[in-house]
Amino acid sequence: MSFENLGLAPRLLEAVASMGYTSPTPIQRDAIPMVLEGRDVVGCAQTGTGKTAAFVLPLMQRIPAKPGGPRALVVTPTRELAVQIEEVATQVAKHTKHRVAVVYGGVGYEPQTKALRRGVDVLVATPGRLLDLMERKTADLSNVEILVLDEADRMLDMGFWPQVRRIIQTIPAGRQNLLFSATMSTDVMRVVSSTLHEPVRVEVAPASTPIEAIEQRVYPVGGQEKAQLLVHLIKADDPERVIVFTRTKHRADRVAKVLHKSGINTAAIHGDRSQSQRQSALASLKSGRCRVLVATDVVARGIDIDDVSHVVNYDLPNTPEDYVHRIGRTARAGKTGTAVTLLAPEEHELFREIEVKIGAVLNTHDAEGFEYSQQRLVPSAERTAVRRTRTVYSSSRGRSRTRRRR
Ligand code: AMP
């Protein structure tokens, strides 16, 4: 199957080629022809499946680039997702001449107001800021022809639904609706039946990251020596792209500082960082300017970072589920990956819970050439694997499903 078979116009095929996509992902293969036909579509797909291009490409084909827009509106729950969608739309628009803008909260109004005044064909927005701009009469949705509700389940979970409903009510009824959601809960289904018109449902099983594709390495180390060990491991292994997880914001900053001082290009991302700091940290990891991103769990959720070669558990997460979420960020799309855990003596109990969860005893390692000066505690060699559950890793934000074994 190639993009040529999906009914996309030549200028969109050019965009696809310049984005480096050679063949469509399953959600693109199934959704693009339906969107081009003008059907309402429900896509059950997570981040990481190629769902953004699955709606961005055909919507550009369906709407004209002309004054009086926006003619396509994409509503998404978080600023990070909004920016990611805008990036894809901007790449596509280079070939189609559509104007793309993104609006989200937590930053000044001025640049967003200016962009809207200049004229927009495709608007990507988070619900709160969009409503603000509508109330200020800066955003006018009366000519919207295509509405995309992205990550509908998260918008419901985050309590955005009343806002989204108000937005929908201002858009002409004859519009085409596309709704994407990682899960199809009864709440999502209710939204689908109240908002969409005879939708076609397209679904992809989450691309799974088999546990065999992730090498899990555990380094017992004294709690005060973790930073030096991390520097040593990064210098010795020379990994391509690393996410280091810490328990707290404070520790994230401290680790980033130590790495930086050791000459390792590092960015940090956590809840105390401003939106622009978070964006520039992500951009620098994506562009390769930084090799290491230090993050806390909360902020790392929902961010799509491709090609992570190594995940480092600088601190163990509070729950075994979070361990699974974290390490599922590596070994995506058929690649292999490494998950490194720095294990302090006080973390052994949590570590054991993780082993129970994943049903495996993990190998412990000594870092070659590292001078350990602090007392370490190596987990007992007699511990046995207790497999209670089987975990299926997903490719996206690290969600996972756990099935009880019979
Ligand atoms: P998404 O699920 O939209 O967040 O996309 C996940 C990642 O897959 C993004 O980095 C895209 O650039 C990439 N991607 C999307 N479609 C394709 C494709 N057909 N071929 C290769 N990569 C793709």
User: Atom 13 in ligand 1: which residue has the minimum CA distance?
Assistant: 50
User: Atom 1 in ligand 1: which residue has the minimum CA distance?
Assistant: 50
Q: Is residue 386 part of a domain?
A: no
Residue 12 CA: distances (Å) to CA of 8, 21, 107, 267, 279: 6, 12, 32, 35, 28
Q: Quick one: average pLDDT of 277-294?
A: 84
Q: What is the pLDDT of residue 396?
A: 37
Mutate to test the pocket of ligand 1, among 304, 332, 396 (most ligand atoms within 8 A of CB): 304
Q: Quick one: average pLDDT of 362-367?
A: 91
Residue 198 maps to which CATH number? 3.40.50.300
Is the same domain home to 251 and 308? yes
Distance (Å) from CA 20 to ligand 1 centroid:
10
Q: What is the pLDDT of residue 391?
A: 39
Q: What is the pLDDT of residue 279?
A: 77
Is the same domain home to 127 and 73? yes
Q: What is the pLDDT of residue 334?
A: 57
Distance (Å) from CA 327 to ligand 1 centroid:
20
User: Atom 5 in ligand 1: which residue has the minimum CA distance?
Assistant: 50
The confidence band for 356, taking pLDDT boundaries of 50, 70 and 90, is: confident
Residue at which a domain ends, from 203, 223, 258:
203
Contact 148, 75 (CB under 8 A): yes
Is the same domain home to 107 and 224? no
Is the same domain home to 72 and 170? yes
Q: What percent of the chain has pLDDT over 70?
A: 88
Is the same domain home to 64 and 197? yes
Q: What is the pLDDT of residue 346?
A: 93
Q: What is the pLDDT of residue 52?
A: 95
Q: What is the pLDDT of residue 405?
A: 34
Distance (Å) from CA 107 to ligand 1 centroid:
28
Residue at which a domain ends, from 203, 231, 254:
203
Ligand 1 atom closest to the CA of 46, numbered from 1: 2
Report pLDDT digits (tens) over 43-53: 988 777 889 99
Is the same domain home to 283 and 322? yes
Token pair recorded at residue 123: 């608007």
Q: What is the pLDDT of residue 116?
A: 96
Tell me how many domains the chain contains.
2
Is the same domain home to 159 and 24? yes
Domain around 18: 3-203
Q: What is the pLDDT of residue 42?
A: 95
Mutate to test the pocket of ligand 1, among 2, 6, 19 (most ligand atoms within 8 A of CB): 19
Residue 187 has pLDDT above 50, yes or no: yes
Distance (Å) from CA 332 to ligand 1 centroid:
11
Pocket of ligand 1 (CB under 6 A): 21, 24-25, 28, 47-53, 304, 306
The confidence band for 305, taking pLDDT boundaries of 50, 70 and 90, is: low
User: Atom 16 in ligand 1: which residue has the minimum CA distance?
Assistant: 50
Distance (Å) from CA 48 to ligand 1 centroid:
6
Q: Is residue 405 part of a domain?
A: no
Is the same domain home to 74 and 186? yes
Q: What is the pLDDT of residue 296?
A: 85
Distance (Å) from CA 90 to ligand 1 centroid:
15
Residue 172 has pLDDT above 80, yes or no: yes
Is the same domain home to 144 and 271? no
Q: Quick one: average pLDDT of 337-348?
A: 93
Is the same domain home to 55 and 195? yes
User: Atom 12 in ligand 1: which residue has the minimum CA distance?
Assistant: 50
Residue at which a domain ends, from 175, 203, 231:
203
Ligand 1 atom closest to the CA of 333, numbered from 1: 8
Q: Which residues contact 263 (CB under 8 A, 6 or more apart)?
A: none
Q: Closest Cα partner for 187 from 150, 153, 237, 229?
A: 153
Residue 158 has pLDDT above 80, yes or no: yes
Residue 400 has pLDDT above 50, yes or no: no
Q: Is residue 48 part of a domain?
A: yes
Residue 281 has pLDDT above 90, yes or no: no
Distance (Å) from CA 84 to ligand 1 centroid:
11
Q: Who has greater pLDDT, 270 or 229? A: 229
Distance (Å) from CA 23 to ligand 1 centroid:
10
Ligand 1 atom closest to the CA of 51, numbered from 1: 3
User: Atom 10 in ligand 1: which residue has the minimum CA distance?
Assistant: 306
Q: What is the pLDDT of residue 401?
A: 39
3-state secondary structure the chain: CCHHHHCCCHHHHHHHHHCCCCCCCHHHHHHHHHHHCCCCEEEECCCCCCHHHHHHHHHHHHCCCCCCCCCEEEECCCHHHHHHHHHHHHHHHHHHCCCEEEECCCCCCHHHHHHHHHCCCEEEECHHHHHHHHHCCCCCCCCCCEEEECCHHHHHHCCCHHHHHHHHHCCCCCCEEEEEECCCCHHHHHHHHHHCCCCEEEECCCCECCHHHEEEEEEECCHHHHHHHHHHHHHHHCCCCEEEEECCHHHHHHHHHHHHHCCCCEEEECCCCCHHHHHHHHHHHHHCCCCEEEEEHHHHCCCCCCCECEEEECCCCCCHHHHHHHHCCECCCCCCEEEEEEECHHHHHHHHHHHHHHCCCCCECCCCCCCCCCCCCCCCCCCCCCCCEEEEEECCCCCEEEEECC
The least confident of 56-70, 157-171, 390-404 is 390-404
Q: Quick one: average pLDDT of 32-49?
A: 91
Q: What is the pLDDT of residue 283?
A: 83
Distance (Å) from CA 49 to ligand 1 centroid:
6
Q: Is residue 370 part of a domain?
A: no
Distance (Å) from CA 18 to ligand 1 centroid:
13
Q: What is the pLDDT of residue 379?
A: 85
Q: What is the pLDDT of residue 385?
A: 59
Q: What is the pLDDT of residue 402?
A: 36
Q: Quick one: average pLDDT of 313-341?
A: 81
Is the same domain home to 128 and 224? no
Report pLDDT digits (tens) over 103-154: 999 999 999 999 999 999 999 999 999 999 999 999 999 999 999 999 999 9
User: Atom 18 in ligand 1: which residue has the minimum CA distance?
Assistant: 21
Q: Is residue 45 part of a domain?
A: yes
Q: Is residue 363 part of a domain?
A: no
Q: What is the pLDDT of residue 297?
A: 76
Is the same domain home to 198 and 227? no
**In the predicted model, what is the mean pLDDT of the chain?**
86
User: Atom 22 in ligand 1: which residue has the minimum CA distance?
Assistant: 21
